[in-house]
Chain A
């Protein structure tokens, strides 16, 4: 069974600090990796996607991927109270039906305190 593991948290960081969110996955043939942000009562919103080993930066967000270690992370610099949400790690693996359904972790709850 393909698994995506995240620490459920809550992860509490002070405003202005760096928040580090981690995710491991079990399927070695996984090709694409996504971070979604989900506010309470809302649907997931894409924050970052990463497909190759290394770092990918977009504004205050940096995604890091290490396929050898089957590990993906999300760094949020200068954290703001508005970043308080659940962050879902999603992994996209091919299947025999050519589908690319996302396999999600349970999410990490982030709380940024003023």
Chain B
């Protein structure tokens, strides 16, 4: 079956602009996660959705970052007033069950964001 998909694969924007990154999870997966990976680092947790609600947004670096998942499937990560330090690969992952520690997270291909 289809895996996690993310669009766009690459996004180049100018400092101060607004961007939206989209994630389409595996069909039927309840939990959805956003991570950010900078060069030479492991992925860093941003936000976790259980269904439609953001159950944990403690990883969002500041209020310029916001994410939604209005129908419990597709999610959009929104970044306002982008800064050069926001440049990274943004990864989305989904898992079948929410709130289960042994549940496996499957990652999408990521969106490479470059802020000039």
Contacts and interface: CB of A to CB of B under 8 A. Distances in A.
Interface of A: 4, 8, 31-32, 34, 36, 42-46, 49, 51, 88, 90, 92, 94-95, 97-107
A43 B91 CA distance: 8
Interface in B38-73: 40-45, 48, 50, 55-56, 58-59
Interface of B: 33, 35, 40-45, 48, 50, 55-56, 58-59, 91, 93, 98-110
B9 to A, nearest CB: 11
A101 B104 CA distance: 11
Given A43-B108, A43-B110, A88-B42, A101 B102 contact: no
B102 A49 contact: yes
Contacts, number: 72
Given A31-B101, A101-B45, 13 more contacts: A8-B40, A43-B108, A44-B43, A44-B91, A51-B101, A88-B43, A90-B42, A94-B101, A97-B56, A99-B50, A100-B101, A100-B103, A102-B33
Contact of B99 (A4, A45, A100): A100
Contacts of A4: 42
B47 to A, nearest CB: 9
Contacts of A97: 48, 55-56, 58
